[in-house]
Amino acid sequence: MLSQVYRSGFQPFHQRLLPWVQSTALSRSHRVQPSTIRHVRSWSNIPFITVPLSRAHGKSFAHRSELKHAKRIVVKLGSAVVTRGDECGLALGRLASIVEQVSVLQNQGREMMLVTSGAVAFGKQRLRHEILLSQSVRQALHSGQNQLKEMAIPVLEARACAAAGQSGLMALYEAMFTQYSICAAQILVTNLDFHDEQKRRNLNGTLHELLRMNIVPIVNTNDAVVPPAEPNSDLQGVNVISVKDNDSLAARLAVEMKTDLLIVLSDVEGLFDSPPGSDDAKLIDIFYPGDQQSVTFGTKSRVGMGGMEAKVKAALWALQGGTSVVIANGTHPKVSGHVITDIVEGKKVGTFFSEVKPAGPTVEQQGDMARSGGRMLATLEPEQRAEIIHHLADLLTDQRDEILLANKKDMEEAEGRLAAPLLKRLSLSTSKLNSLAIGLRQIAASSQDSVGRVLRRTRIAKNLELEQVTVPIGVLLVIFESRPDCLPQVAALAIASGNGLLLKGGKEATHSNRILHLLAQEALSIHGVKEAIQLVNTREEVEDLCRLDKMIDLIIPRGSSQLVRDIQKAAKGIPVMGHSEGICHMYVDSEASVDKVTRLVRDSKCEYPAACNALETLLIHRDLLRTPLFDQIIDMLRVEQVKIHAGPKFASYLTFSPSEVKSLRTEYGDLELCIEVVDSVQEAIDHIHKYGSSHTDVIVTENEKTAEFFLQHVDSACVFWNASTRFSDGYRFGLGAEVGISTSRIHARGPVGLEGLLTTKWLLRGQDHVVSDFSEHGSLKYLHENLPVPQRNTN
């Protein structure tokens, strides 16, 4: 067994013995109680933080987000999790990862208990080794080496395997937990220990005492003596359940010990509505009592006594007793290293059992509705989609009072909680609504031939013609913060492009988003496609939404640079279109006009400093220092109360300089500006490429040649000459609106309007054409003739 420990990456036992004795003695004599823990530590890549843990037991958690408050937790490790694929021996790497996660949670002040399988598999490995060794010796003595290949291993009785493996399994756990200065204790139980009142009280008292001493109890059925499971009437009520496998043991233990959370790890992702692997199988995110009839159970796992049906029954029994339950995959190499901590953090992992059914649809159901609604939307005539958008524009002005009243509620609730720039973004006004309505009508006008437009026609051969046409991307997920005006803009673009839409707004705009979404659905209802646009109101975390790769085709974040970066990091297999930062530059050339510069700088920086297209860095040619033009710029910024940060070169020219910039790659989003000095237009371009975010960059000059050089060489989504950075906007570009600004080097870059939400498909029309007709001896030849494309309607 110790050789296995060494192979799994631990130090040899003699090197660990002395510190283990010291740490164990210290932990037992000077144990720090969970309530007094204050330090922040970490093991591996899993953070260790202290969390407030206090909850009266009696009712299970209603939502995943509440699981972080769980104090007492049982983790059940199924046989498939603990054992190797050959069912002989333990999966040491996986087991070490689980021990690490349990240790992290234990050291956060939680009370962890393990219900583990593995004794039979571990014993089987030991007994097989002993049998092979004894057989090889006997046969070598009597029959010669040539018969060793024919040795057969007899069928091993499970109880004997359990007896041989139990001590080794516990020794392995003890060695692993020792790495984290945690003590573990083994408890073997049978069904009688729960049904005999005295034994049950003894077991309860032992477990409570171990938890009080900050020891992790490791519980298992005593498979060396336990009788075979018999059919009975268990699982009929809270007080009746027989311990016939580790699933029922974990459930009984969880209720007996009044635990907050039971985590059941198996070899499947969770509970599916049909056997995993079948074509239509879908993972059930949340399972409610009474849903059993909608589930078809398959066979039991490859090892162990129970199957998914046994797990569900045990889980529902524990849920009925006041313990929350999550069934998840503990074997997948990509998630097993953090599956337990992810569950406790409330992440969308496995199947969560809840007694509280939400009033509305789940996000998965909303995704399906958006998909089917979007497909219906795409089949409408262009005039019908335009009519929906016009109706939405009318509703924005007709229902102005109701919208502003809802927005007022959001503003009042956000007062004192949000920074001034975010409050400004949150605010709606009559002028904003009027501008929104005008932009929506522009979208309606430009959408007439967006979907189904022919981009290319090719005659492949006689009577075989190919077309490339525009089609919707599918289902869009748009996540936005503090910007309720974003909702009707994005909704109109989704309608015009025939895309289904999932919207996730910030909670600070709850009231505004709700009424705007209702108006969008009212407009969609005139042509029976109300469900194409869905507002996600459940407690879905953004990170969880980014994992729905089977129902979302494109994610578009609109918000802070931190939000965009988090989404880009969290998105698994889903493209993200957006920009993480808006570090916009303006280069003032030596030949810049005095009259133009101050107007352009003021508008770019001061008109709306919280916008992503606001100026953040002003690059000034060295020859302009100590000139009237430079003085005018500084005076204007002082009047506008803009805080100046000096770049390194600019600071070197000044005797008393403003605060030196901490980073030249900063998006302030406020009345703050970095000023730096450059020697030439090429140095300005190099600075932009090094410190910019490829968003919007401007040159101010009267020299056309210099301006064209700048326009051609700056590699950003938007590059302007003698124009404010604030023009980088879908409405100002004439797109009607935008879903965001993309700095990615994909098909859509800069302000993304209607065109950026379309992709293409190929249509081939033939008459019994087969590829073999075009072979060397075939009867047909490829023509590949370009055909005229229908003219686009620009009215």
Q: Give the 3-state secondary structure of 337-355.
A: CCHHHHHHCCCCCCEEECC
pLDDT score, position 292: 65
Arithmetic mean of pLDDT, 580-609: 94
Q: How far apart are CA 577 and CA 747, in angstroms?
A: 10
Helix (H, G, I), strand (E, B) or coil at 462: coil
Residue 420, class by beta-carbon neighbours within 10 Å (0-12 exposed, 13-18 middle, 19+ buried)?
exposed
Query: Does the pLDDT value for residue 47 go beyond 70?
Result: no
Q: Which is higher by pLDDT, 2 or 423?
A: 423
Highest mean pLDDT among 46-55, 547-556, 686-695: 686-695
Tens-place pLDDT, residues 279-323 = 777 888 888 887 766 666 655 544 444 577 888 888 999 999 999
Question: Once rounded to an integer, what is the mean pLDDT over residues 206-221?
Answer: 93
Closest by Cα among 414, 421, 434 to 614:
421
Give yes or no for a contact between 447 and 386, defined as CB atoms under 8 angstroms apart. yes
Nearest CA-CA partner of 119 in 174, 92, 175, 158 = 158
Tens of pLDDT, residues 731-746: 899 887 788 888 887 7
Residue with tokens 């922040």: 40
Residue the block writes with tokens 């690059």: 619
Per-residue pLDDT, averaged over 589-602, amounts to 95
DSSP string, 486-539: HHHHHHHHHHHHT-EEEEEE-GGGHHHHHHHHHHHHHHHGGGT-GGGEEE--S-
Strand partners, 786: 458
Q: Flag whether pLDDT at 11 surpasses 50.
A: no
Q: In what order do the strands lie in the sheet with 672-678?
A: 643-646, 672-678, 615-621, 584-588, 696-700, 718-721
Strand 740-742 versus strand 750-752 pairing type:
antiparallel
Helix (H) or strand (E) holding 543: helix 542-545
> Radius of gyration over alpha carbons of the chain, in Å?
33
Q: Is 153 helix (H, G, I), strand (E, B) or coil?
A: coil
Q: How far apart are CA 186 and CA 86, in angstroms?
A: 26
pLDDT exceeds cutoff 70 at 240: no
Of the two residues 59 and 787, the one the predictor is more confident about is: 787
| Choice among 15-29, 335-349, 694-708 with the minimum mean pLDDT | 15-29
628-639 helix and 594-606 helix, angle to the nearest 10 degrees: 30
Average pLDDT score over residue span 666-687: 95
Q: What is the mean pLDDT of residues 543-556?
A: 87
Residue 155, pLDDT score: 67
Confidence of residue 545 (pLDDT cuts 50, 70, 90): confident
Band (pLDDT 50/70/90 cuts) for residue 113 is very high
DSSP string, 24-47: HHHHHHSPPPGGG----EEETTEE
Q: What is the pLDDT of residue 3?
A: 36
Query: β-pairing, 615-621 with 672-678?
Result: parallel
Residue with tokens 């209603």, as numbered in its chain: 62
Look-up: residue for tokens 């009215």? 795
Residue 239, pLDDT above cutoff 50: no
**Are the beta carbons of 303 and 79 closer than 8 angstroms?**
yes
Q: Does the pLDDT at position 57 exceed 60?
A: no
**For 518, phi and psi rounded to 5 degrees?**
-60, -40
Higher pLDDT, 95 or 139: 95
H or E stretch including 72?
Answer: strand 72-77
Long-range contacts: 742-746, Cβ < 8 Å, 24+? 742/577, 742/578, 742/579, 742/717, 743/578, 743/579, 743/580, 743/693, 743/694, 743/695, 743/716, 743/717, 744/576, 744/577, 744/578, 744/579, 746/575, 746/577
Q: What is the average per-residue pLDDT within 101-113?
A: 95
Helix (H, G, I), strand (E, B), or coil: what is residue 213? coil
Nearest Cα neighbor of 509 from 429, 600, 408 is: 408
Confidence of residue 440 (pLDDT cuts 50, 70, 90): very high
268 contact partners, CB below 8 Å, separation of at least 6: 276, 301, 308, 329
Nearest to 247 by CA among 114, 80, 120, 76: 76
Percentage of the chain with pLDDT > 90?
52
Across the range 675-683, mean pLDDT stands at 97
Q: Which of 34-48, 438-452, 493-507, 761-775 has the lowest mean pLDDT?
A: 34-48
- The predicted pLDDT at position 448 comes to 82
pLDDT at residue 608 greater than cutoff 60: yes
Amino acid at 465: E
Distance CA 38, CA 266 (A): 34
pLDDT, mean of residues 158-173? 81
- Determine which of 178-187, 189-198, 314-323, 514-523 has the lowest per-residue pLDDT on average: 189-198
Mean pLDDT, residues 116-145 taken together? 68
| pLDDT score for 446 | 84
DSSP single-letter state for residue 429: -
Higher pLDDT residue, 167 or 694? 694
Q: Is the pLDDT of residue 136 over 70?
A: no
Residue 27 has pLDDT above 60, yes or no: no
457: three-class secondary structure by DSSP = strand
Average the pLDDT over 99-110 and give the result: 95
Q: Is the pLDDT of residue 458 over 80?
A: yes
In the chain, DSSP finds a helix count (H) and a strand count (E) of 25, 26
CA distance 533 to 521: 7
The b-or-e profile of 509-544 (16+ CB within 10 A means b, else e) is bebbbbbbbebbbebbeebebbbbbbbbbbebbbbb
Read off the tokens for 477: 């997920």
* Cα distance between residue 84 and residue 121, in whole Å: 9
Residue 572 pLDDT greater than 90, yes or no: no
Question: For residue 777, what are the contacts with CB-CB under 8 A and spacing of at least 6?
Answer: none
CB atoms within 10 A of CB 3: 7
The Cα–Cα gap between 490 and 439 comes to 11
Whole-number pLDDT of residue 92: 87
The overall average pLDDT reported for the chain is 83
The secondary element (H helix, E strand) that includes residue 621 is strand 615-621
Amino acid at 59: K
More confident residue, 752 or 725: 725
Query: 231 or 663: whose pLDDT is higher?
Result: 663
d(C-alpha 173, C-alpha 92), whole Å: 10
Residues in the chain: 795
Q: Give the helix ranges, DSSP H, for 182-307.
A: 192-195, 197-212, 246-256
Query: Is 554 a residue whose pLDDT tops 80?
Result: yes
Residue 538 Cα to chain centre, angstroms = 15
